[in-house]
Structure 1
């Protein structure tokens, strides 16, 4: 049986949102913005969210993590499918793929240091970032195989599930910024993931600075897109009094506005569209808010920890 035939006969693509929040989580440990204040007081209109990560499988037994949040241990504890199920040491996590070098996407790797084998996948540039920081040497090379993945290359994420990485407009991680910061460049520093499973097409893009014609063409006709939902409006953090940067400066599209993601997707044929990587200041996190209703009326779902998405 050919690889293509084996992919078609495998089960459906299963995606699990492990963490739906942007960097800092929701509530953020030191924040009292409107959403965080509601969360600290256990208001039923809001739900806590950990930092951005998803898991993928086609058989429910073998899983890949896409991004590895600092809360990965908590996420595993809340996801039975990711927990050890036999022997003295076991994990169903076969590979970990990271889409950029942001702390909220690589910090959890330090928690996976207990000598269980898995593949660590990233672009050559991100692999170099990890290699240059000796703290990641806690990942024993006898167990953790680091594999550089070229943009556009079809690779095996799990048995029966292939994927491709592609550059999206973004920027380098905050701690890697120099005196001059390029915003919106397309390189190995910020990538999206295309899951290839038979005739199914799904995408995970937790960070994106702009919608380009090439990206729109790629996403058109997709079964599922999980897309950067960091901010509702570009100056949101400044208006909330909790930051000094716009969303554009941080390398993120806003949801609303003429240049926002809702408008950018309006004419695209995407069967299911889900916002992920949502900042704690974003009013869509409040059920019943005007922003939440506007997003839902435009056909968008708001991701939450534990959300199950099967294609």
Structure 2
């Protein structure tokens, strides 16, 4: 099984287009300690020929340009005028930074979009997604705990994780940390190997830790290092927990939540532009590495 990180950042990427927080300022200045990152998405394959996207970020067009295995030239016959090794997309939620890239896939490519009924309902309620011609793009509901095989040899199943509804669906009272089909993680299985992709999660529960014990690698929500990080950076008022993302540090953070959990290779993904771990050599980067974590980067490849 192959996993290819197309984008490793949270919404807005790194540097964010209008941000001058400390991390973004370094990135804008070309400081080599901060590697630019696009918005979170990965591609998975059992054989390196047919691929499935897990989320479709607004940066998808540039991500495809940078990903040679996803080029139309891959295994193309001379007579092929329109083809892609991308066979399907699975959405983990309805966040803008996970669904907007679907609009890039509108040129009559045969695709299947997998998502829960709730997330497919979000697409159905917004007529702009009608550009995905239903004669070519199939929308396939997937239930929690259901396994699907979008391409030969690759099995995907989804499960609820603590989260919340997308920002644009929030009302006056927002439930944060509830488990429903609006925020899911993905189990990817092929050739006897298992990987878990969980780009959004509000807490590390005992059930979640038990679930991923059969995994070889987990790509997990690394949005913020400190819960009040955006406030500290002077760029926002919301905490990580208010956004449905637990922090890396702190008593309820992911470093403590996963402490001592050794069976799985652990990689942080979906990293916000304010997160100081993005600065190579920073104390925060050293802390997560000492705890056994890696930091995902655009173009990272994992073979299992």
Bin for the TM-score computed over the shorter chain: over 0.9
Q: Where does 1:183-198 land on structure 2 (aligned, <5 Å)?
A: 183-198=176-191
1:212 paired to 2:205 = yes
Contact 1:163-1:194 within 8 A present in 2 as well = yes
Aligned to 1:134: 127
CA separation in 2, counterparts of 1:291 and 1:158?
39
1:14 paired to 2:2 = yes
CA separation in 2, counterparts of 1:271 and 1:215?
13
CA separation in 2, counterparts of 1:301 and 1:93?
27
Aligned to 1:115: 108
- Give the structure with the higher percent strand: 2
Contact 1:63-1:92 within 8 A present in 2 as well = yes
Aligned to 2:60: 72
Mark the runs of 5 or more structure 2 residues left unpaired by the alignment.
none
TM superposition score normalised by structure 2: 0.97
Aligned to 2:31: 43
What CA deviation, in whole Å up to 9, does each residue of 1:236-256 have, x standing for no partner? 000100010000000001011
Mark the runs of 5 or more structure 1 residues left unpaired by the alignment.
1-12
Contact 1:22-1:52 within 8 A present in 2 as well = yes
Which secondary structure state, in structure 2, belongs to the residue aligned with residue 167 of structure 1?
A: strand
Name the count of aligned residue pairs: 299
CA separation in 2, counterparts of 1:290 and 1:152?
39
Aligned to 1:294: 287
Contact 2:46-2:191 within 8 A present in 1 as well = no
Aligned to 2:195: 202
Which secondary structure state, in structure 1, belongs to the residue aligned with residue 174 of structure 2?
A: coil
1:274 paired to 2:267 = yes
Aligned to 1:59: 47
TM superposition score normalised by structure 1: 0.95
Contact 1:221-1:268 within 8 A present in 2 as well = no
